[in-house]
Amino acid sequence: MGFSRYNSSHSTAPSAPELPLESYVHQQHQPPPPPPPPQQQNQYQSYYGHPPPEPAPPRPSSSYVQSGGFPAGTRSDVVRAFQMVDKDGSGFIDEHELQQALSSGYQRFNLRTIRLLMFLFKNPYDSHRIGPVEFAALWSCLGYWRAIFERFDKDRSGRIDLMELRDALYSLGYAVPPPVFQLLISKYENGSGKAELDFDSFVECGMIVKGLTDKFKEKDKRYTGSATFSYDSFLCMVIPFLVSYD
Amino acid sequence: MGFSRYNSSHSTAPSAPELPLESYVHQQHQPPPPPPPPQQQNQYQSYYGHPPPEPAPPRPSSSYVQSGGFPAGTRSDVVRAFQMVDKDGSGFIDEHELQQALSSGYQRFNLRTIRLLMFLFKNPYDSHRIGPVEFAALWSCLGYWRAIFERFDKDRSGRIDLMELRDALYSLGYAVPPPVFQLLISKYENGSGKAELDFDSFVECGMIVKGLTDKFKEKDKRYTGSATFSYDSFLCMVIPFLVSYD
């Protein structure tokens, strides 16, 4: 995470999370390092050469796979949520089953959000289903995002406004440049240019940024802030987002 | 159009359109030149240095704007289709009105396809509405695409299969490389890997390719086949597709 950051002029720059994140993040995902103080950054300054640590994607190996294909240490409610919907015991669940499984710990996400999550967390060799390892990673990531969301939803209304969204994305390690942010929120705005996002929309919005940033980073391994694509690789990178976003 | 072409090994390489395209294409859009014979091309060979002519987007000017803001020579049924849905006479129509207006000449497109069309043809200064100039260009473009579609829909079933889709896109000037094509059609395939597309899906599919290719070309003005993006410009380019594709 944390590919690019910028120092916005607003005075509510986020600091280290205040909520007990440990209750959400206990597995593979570590919280990103707190952003450096604004005065040390220029606008659009990136972590060139100093990319923040990216949690390694969990991979099954005999040393840490427990019964059922879950990484050792996976919480029992996560295992239960998966197994409850995997009725045929195949070890894989589809998008509708994922929607149902996440309902038990989070909420019933919009199917569009589910497809985006599925696309971003799926095993690269199976595009339509996810297994225990991916499910555990997704559950853990959502827990972290939920903690960030709740931190900015100060009145516990279940919704955050656009300024809070920007700060929340920043806390997740994504400094979304203003023009990009404007595009991103255009779908949530009402006529007066205001909007509030619930957790579902927050996840959708943030996962678009995360997904595209991750893809970009694959082509910008040295963190120069720019990347070169062939026509084919550009199309191959972008089209899955459109297809999964159906 | 016709940014990149490749010589596929199939034997049904399209030749010049057989249908009387003049009845569809009568305004700004010219049919792309017929693809060169396969034996003159390498796989993925592009028109580097010899980009096919791209029809200039119509722009209103006092010399050719007729009453109602339409380019001179616009067919009366096109003007009528627009004015019928522009009930407040503002000279602009929104996505629902566009859906209704196109119904009179083509069909009732899926709202998702309508949003994609709106995004690709809209005036850059008004993201939620289109005016007469853009409407006339869209109508004309759809006429050309319809002619191509019908040429490949040999049995007049209203549907084309995946091989025909590939050839039809090729006729439109888009040689979609096999891996990209696989991604693109994944949403239309049934379990057995087969699919048929109606005109609505054909337009959706083709407009995704056209839109992304046009965006890529903006960054590859010399037709080298590769383009460099900053992180910001990459996000700004891709996110509107996701938002419009809602």
In tens, the pLDDT along B130-163 reads 999 999 999 999 999 999 999 999 889 999 998 9
**A65-244 maps to which CATH number?**
1.10.238.10
Question: What is the predicted pLDDT for the residue at B218?
Answer: 92
What is the arithmetic mean of pLDDT over A101-124?
90
Residue A107 confidence (pLDDT): 93
Q: Which residue has the tokens 């909520």?
A: A19
Are B173 and B1 spatial neighbours (Cβ–Cβ below 8 Å)? yes
Q: Do A229 and B230 touch (CB under 8 A)?
A: no
Q: Which residues, in sequence order, are CB contacts of B153 under 8 Å at separation 6+?
A: B159, B160, B164
Amino acid letter, A86: D
Q: What is the pLDDT of residues A223-232, one digit of tens each?
A: 999 999 999 9
Q: For residue A128, which residues of chain B lie inside 8 Å, CB to CB? A: none
- CA–CA dist B73, B139 (Å, integer): 13
More confident: B8 or A82? A82
Give the whole-angstrom CA distance, residue B159 versus residue B129: 30
CA atoms within 13 A on the CB side of A56: 3
Average pLDDT over residues A48-61: 42
Interface list for chain B against chain A, based on CB atoms closer than 8 Å: 3-4, 44, 46, 127, 176-177, 179-180, 183-184, 186-187, 208-209, 212-213, 216, 220, 225-232, 234-236, 238-243, 245-246
Where along chain B do its domains lie?
21-244
CB proximity list for A163: less than 8 A, separation 6 or greater = A10, A12
B227 CB neighbours in chain A (<8 A) are 228-229, 231, 234
SS3 (DSSP) at A183: helix
Measure the CA–CA gap between A70 and A77, rounded to whole angstroms. 12
* One pLDDT digit (tens) per residue for chain B, 246 residues: 344 433 333 333 333 333 433 333 344 444 444 444 433 333 333 432 233 444 444 444 444 445 678 998 899 999 999 999 998 889 999 999 999 999 999 999 998 899 899 989 987 777 678 999 999 999 999 999 999 999 999 889 999 998 999 999 999 999 888 888 888 887 787 667 678 899 999 999 999 999 999 999 999 999 999 999 999 999 988 988 887 766
- CA-nearest of A78, A188, A202 to A140 is A78
The closest alpha carbon to B113, from B243, B204, B238, belongs to B204
Q: From CA B182, how far away is CA B88, in angstroms rounded?
A: 44
Question: pLDDT at position B20, please?
Answer: 39
Q: What does the pLDDT average to over A13-33? A: 41
Check residue A243 and give its pLDDT: 74
Classified as helix, coil or strand, B69 is helix
What CATH class does B21-244 carry? Answer: mainly alpha
* ipTM computed for the complex: 0.72
The phi-psi region of residue A69 (left if phi > 0; otherwise alpha if psi is between -120 and 50; otherwise beta) is: left
